[in-house]
A and B are shown apart, each in its own frame.
Chain A
Amino acid sequence: QLVESGGGLVKPGGSVRLSCEASGFLFKNASMNWVRQAPGKGLEWVSSIGPISTYIYYADSVRGRFTISRDNAKNSLFLQLDRLSAEDTAVYFCARVSRTSAALDLWGQGTLVTVSS
Chain B
Amino acid sequence: ILMTQSPATLSVSPGDRATLSCRASQSINTNLAWYQHKPGQAPRLLIHGASTRATGIPDRFSGSGSGTDFTLTISSLQSEDFAVYYCQHYINWPPYSFGQGTKLEIK
Contact = CB atoms under 8 A, between A and B. Distances in A.
B14 interface: no
Q: How large is the interface on A (under 10, 10 to 19, 20 to 34, 35 or more residues)?
A: 20 to 34
A101 B48 contact: yes
Given A93-B43, A110-B42, A105 B54 contact: yes
A53 to B, nearest CB: 15
Chain B interface, >50% SS class: loop
Interface string A35-63: 10000001111001000000001010000
Contacts of B101: 42-43
Interface stretch (B17-25, B64-72, B75-83, B88-96): B88-96
A101 B96 contact: no
Interface in A75-95: 93, 95
